[in-house]
Amino acid sequence: MNGVLMMMIGVSLVALFLAICALLWGIKNKQFDDDYKFTMLNDSEDALNDAVILEKRKEEILKNKKQP
């Protein structure tokens, strides 16, 4: 029983170490930086409508490319 407990603690510490490494890697590579915030760029109603229209156009283009 004591061996199982020690193994669980060891595995937990390894998992914690890997999680911290992944977090630090993400911070170092700027994975959490959001330079272009969608709400700030499209804060007016017209800008949001334009963004929706642009998204629909992109979907139509991709849909037309898939069709023979």
40 and 27 belong to one structural domain: no
| Domains: count for the chain | 2
Kindly state the average pLDDT of the residues 47-67: 87
In angstroms, the CA 30 to CA 24 distance is 10
38 and 68 belong to one structural domain: yes
23 and 41 belong to one structural domain: no
In angstroms, the CA 47 to CA 27 distance is 31
Contacts of residue 42, defined as CB under 8 A and 6 or more positions apart, other chains included, come to 48, 50, 51
46 and 60 belong to one structural domain: yes
28 and 38 belong to one structural domain: no
* Entry pTM: 0.49
- For residue 45, the enclosing domain spans 34-68
18 and 42 belong to one structural domain: no
Task: Give tens-digit pLDDT for 15-53.
Answer: 999 999 999 999 999 887 776 665 566 567 887 788 889
39 and 29 belong to one structural domain: no
Kindly state the average pLDDT of the residues 7-11: 96
